[in-house]
A and B are shown apart, each in its own frame.
Chain A
Amino acid sequence: MEDQWRRETKPIDFEGGIFMPYSWTVGRVGSRFFIELRDNGRIMASACRKCKDIWVPPRMRCPVCFSEIDEDAWVEIGPEGTLRHYTVVRYDHKAQPIKPPFAYAIIDLDGATRGFTHLVYGTELEDLKSGTRLKPVFALDPQGNILDIEYFTPVGGQGG
């Protein structure tokens, strides 16, 4: 399709973009999770009494059965957990919080029935495998967001 026109003409691209700042509402449930994380270094989950599922991040309603989860049905989980699946990322883009190579992992935090997705770093990434025990490395200056856990790293490994 790149015809005569394309050979003779340098096409014009109009460089632009959408630059939109957002301020996402975290809400009552999410705020409690992040305040516990920021102020006490605790990872909280919410338990659906009907489904017996322990959800992290905590939810206002069970995603499966839709019944309301009381604020007293919260439990502390982790902070350690077991690596379920991982990938080592070897390309970069602007939304990544750290420079590759690093890993993403789905982690079964101790006490939860559903997985928690986060970063794994500070270790020989080649040695990771399903079943590796992981612990969180907390940010020195927590802000009340998901990166208050900087990343997870193997228990007893370097960088902990």
Chain B
Amino acid sequence: MGRRVAIIGFGQTHHSARRWDVNGLELIQEAVVRALDDAEMTLEEIDAVVIGNMDHFEGINYVDTWSVEGAGAFMKPIFKVTTGGTTGTTVAIAAYYHVASGLFNNVMAIGWEKNSESDTTGAIITCSDPVWDRFSYSGAIPSLAVEASAYMREYGVTEEDGARVTVRDRGNAMNNPYAHLREAVTIEDVMYSQMLTEPIKLLDICPRSDGAAAVIFSREDVAEKRCPKPAWIHAVSVRHDTTWFGDIDYTRLTSLEGASKEVFRIAGIKEPVKELDVCELYLPYSFAGLKWMESIGLCGPGEAPRFVADGHTDMGGTLPVNPSGGVLSTNCIGATGLLRVGETALQIFGRAEKRQVEGARLAMATGFGGCFWSDALIVGAGKPQ
């Protein structure tokens, strides 16, 4: 780790199934203006921008240049990073490196998507290899169903166990005025929702949303001067898997295991459940809220269903997960990972209002995407070593 970097501002749009009132550029502006307001900063103080989304959801090539007036990047350095579902965390990690490099003082990270503009699954299918895989690949849901089935069979997990994750996250979204889906659901609602791909039902899976997030990363002296409680970046890590879906080990999420291990090592975290105060995890479907808890190392193998059922991950529990309502409540894909990071910062700022975890000082955010790729970040109230 090099120079210390902290998040000092976070802005997000009011997410919904379709934001008819704004085009893509104006959607981005909404998040950027809110982030500037949150940091009490002017646009002139931002000296670089990094932006991300997924090309085929809006069909815009070179989003960095197209978005200049939306991002407030006129005559500023800007480029685009993109890695599929992990794009939002990729943007955050890139903004961290921007500042840690010493090149910039304040960097705006932007993630956005207008998923209403195209067929989300249709676009995702084209991530598969056109020659070898595309004829048989049918999008994110079936491949997640494969890993869910493997996990359920291994540990005797039930569909109700999965449903509890949806119930928790959707319930938490009631406290988040920005969330897309703000209606609590019950286990029965989940169980009786439409079956999509065994064992995944409609309420087990995330929605697709229109939305944007903007997060301001600043160097140490600026953060200390400008933010009463900066959210310091303690560690970042990225792990990708192999190129082919057939090469993935569906019984484990090795990328999340690897990224989590690395951030815990860098941040000096030995007992994550005890040391972390809150998590914002990229859980795109309910069973991820079980199996991936184990991949991170928050529970032993097969223990997550009990851990969740006992309320440890609820608000007020040992380790609240997704106070924002998570991905199951809001999923504007290029922004989704950045929302996780922004929400953890908000917890550290102590400005999460109704979704605040009291006294949160150390938080974890994750991203998921690509060919079973994972990103992890640790954000804290105390300065990193």
Q: Which residues of A contact B (CB under 8 A)?
A: 14, 16, 18, 20-30, 59-61, 63-64, 66
Least CB distance from B138 to A in Å reads: 16
Instruction: Give the residue name and chain of the A residue nearest to B114 (CB).
Output: A25
- In the complex, chain B residues whose CB is within 8 Å of the CB of A64: 74
Write the chain B residue with the least CB distance to A15.
B130
- Chain B residues with Cβ below 8 Å from A27 are 20-23, 26
What residue of chain B has the Cβ atom nearest to residue A55's Cβ? Answer: B69
In the assembled complex, the Cα of A21 lies from the Cα of B117 at a distance in Å of 9
* Nearest chain B residue, comparing its CB with the CB of A68: B33
| Neighbour of B56 across the interface among A14, A18, A30, CB < 8 A | A18
Given the complex of chains A and B, what is the CA–CA distance between A33 and B116 in angstroms? Answer: 22
Given the known A-B contacts A18-B56, A60-B29, A61-B29, are A23 and B118 also in contact in the complex, defined by CB atoms under 8 Å?
yes
CA distance A74 to B55 in the complex (A): 33
Partner of A20, one of B21, B118, B134, B210: B118
Known interface pairs A14-B131, A25-B114, A63-B74; A20-B23 also in contact (CB < 8 Å): no
- A interface secondary structure, majority: loop
Q: Which of A14, A22, A26, A29 has the most CB atoms of chain B within a 10 A radius of its CB?
A: A22
Q: How large is the interface on B (under 10, 10 to 19, 20 to 34, 35 or more residues)?
A: 20 to 34
Instruction: Indicate if the CB atoms of B117 and A59 lie closer than 8 Å.
Output: no
**Residues of B contacting A26 with CB < 8 Å?**
23
Q: Are A24 and B23 in contact (CB under 8 A)?
A: yes
B267 to chain A, nearest CB (A): 36
In the bound complex, how far is the Cα of B36 from the Cα of A66, in angstroms? 12
The reply to whether B69 and A59 contact each other, CB–CB distance below 8 Å, is: yes
30 A–B contacts, CB within 8 A, in A order = A14-B130, A14-B131, A18-B56, A18-B126, A20-B59, A20-B119, A20-B122, A22-B58, A23-B118, A24-B24, A24-B58, A25-B18, A25-B19, A25-B20, A25-B22, A25-B210, A26-B23, A27-B23, A28-B21, A29-B26, A30-B23, A60-B26, A61-B26, A61-B33, A63-B68, A63-B69, A64-B74, A66-B29, A66-B43, A66-B72
Beta-carbon nearest neighbor of B132 in chain A: A14
Q: In this complex, what residue of A is CB-closest to B43?
A: A66
Docked Cα-Cα span, A29 to B74, in Å, equals: 21
B59 near A22 with CB under 8 A, answer yes
B-to-A contact residues, CB < 8 Å: 18-24, 26, 29, 33, 43, 56, 58-59, 68-69, 72, 74, 114, 116-119, 122-123, 126, 130-131, 134, 210
**Contacting residues, chain B, for A23 (C-beta < 8 A):** 116-118
Asked if A16 and B19 make an inter-chain contact with CB atoms under 8 angstroms apart, the answer reads no
Measured CA separation A23–B122 after assembly (Å): 14
CB of A23 to closest CB in B, whole Å: 6
Query: Cβ of B18 and Cβ of A20 under 8 Å apart?
Result: no
How many Å lie between the Cα of A24 and that of B210 in the bound state?
12
Query: In the bound complex, how far is the Cα of B126 from the Cα of A60, in angstroms?
Result: 34
Known: A21-B119, A24-B117, A63-B68. 5 other contacts (CB 8 A): A14-B131, A16-B134, A20-B122, A24-B58, A27-B21
The 4 A-B residue pairs with the shortest CB-CB distance in the complex, in nearest-first order: A63-B69, A27-B23, A27-B22, A28-B21
CB distance from A14 to the nearest CB of B (A): 5
Residues of chain A contacted by B20 (CB below 8 angstroms)? 25, 27
Q: Complex: how many Å from CA A21 to CA B23? A: 17
How distant is B135 from chain A, measured CB to nearest CB, in Å? 10
Q: Which chain A residue lies CB-closest to B59?
A: A22
- Interchain CA distance A64-B56 in the complex, whole Å: 28
Nearest CB of A to B120, in Å: 11
A132 to chain B, nearest CB (A): 29
Contacting residues, chain B, for A25 (C-beta < 8 A) = 18-20, 22-24, 114, 116-117, 210
Task: Report chain B residues within 8 Å CB of A59.
Answer: 69
How far apart are the CA atoms of A118 and B108 in the complex, in Å?
A: 33
Report the separation of the CA atoms of residues A29 and B69 in the bound assembly, to the nearest whole angstrom. 15
By a CB distance below 8 angstroms, the chain A residues around B210 are 25
Kindly state the separation between the CA atoms of A64 and B72 in the bound complex, as whole angstroms. 8
Q: What's the Cα separation between A105 and B59 when bound, in Å?
A: 25
- Complex Cα–Cα for A64 and B20 (A): 25
CB distance from B139 to the nearest CB of A (A): 14
Residues of the B chain whose Cβ atoms lie less than 8 Å from the Cβ of A63: 68-69, 74
CB distance from A61 to the nearest CB of B (A): 6
How far apart sit A30 and B26, CA to CA, in the bound complex (Å)? 10
Contacts of B19 in A (CB 8 A): 25
